[in-house]
Amino acid sequence: MIKLAELGWGKDNPAFRQFFTTQFIPDGTAEQHQWFNQLERISTSPQNAVRIFHVFYRIDVTALGPLVACPTLVLHSTRDERVPFDEGRLLANLIPDARFVPLESRNHILLEHEPAWRRWIEEVRAFLPTTSGRADAVGNQRSPSVELFGVELGRCRH
């Protein structure tokens, strides 16, 4: 895969990137594949793509899982063609009290038309608190946080 990135990542011809695209969104439409191919080409240089792949294949964070001190939700496609399903389950098992949710999909990046996307939204909304970094009803200032789909991310012990 690294050689494919070296040879074709920055080229106008999407043939090399299509190999990666079909791993991320195998059930995507032709239009979605074209969009993702273009996104890959413009989001990083061929040299950086190669560096990312080298790191991706060498990195091992399994020893860090037990150190996570935040509520954790791990969602993973059951037939993910980019990252094996067992890797998602492993990650969830390494993190204390993590919740693992299998999603019925082949796509690594879920698409809005598939049922797994709706389930992902439901699970994330149910997992995250609904308050923001603003003052609560009695005027207590809450810690800053990041919001996604109108729900708060963050608030972990340090």
Q: Give 41's contacts (C-beta < 8 A, 6+ positions apart).
A: 9, 10, 11, 12, 14, 17
Q: Give 148's contacts (C-beta < 8 A, 6+ positions apart).
A: 124, 128
Q: What's the pLDDT at 150?
A: 46
State mean pLDDT over 14-38.
89
Question: Whole-angstrom Cα distance, residue 91 to residue 141?
Answer: 34
Alpha helices by DSSP H, listed for 46-128, are: 46-58, 85-94, 115-127
Q: Record the tokens describing residue 48, joined without a space.
A: 């950086």
Mean pLDDT score across all residues of the chain: 82
Q: What is the pLDDT of residues 95-149, one digit of tens each?
A: 999 999 999 999 999 999 999 999 999 999 999 887 655 444 444 444 444 444 4
- Percentages (nearest 5) of helix, strand, coil residues in the chain: 45, 10, 45
Cβ atoms 77, 105 nearer than 8 A: yes
Which residue reads 């509520």 in tokens? 71
* Helix (H), strand (E), coil (C) string for 21-48: HHHHCCCCCHHHHHHHHHHHHHHCCHHH
Q: What's the pLDDT at 49?
A: 84
Using CB atoms within 10 Å of the CB of residue 156, give its burial: 0 to 12 exposed, 13 to 18 middle, 19+ buried: exposed
Single-letter amino acid, residue 133: G
Percent of the chain, pLDDT > 90?
52
Q: What's the pLDDT at 45?
A: 85
Q: What's the pLDDT at 132?
A: 57
Q: What's the pLDDT at 7?
A: 67
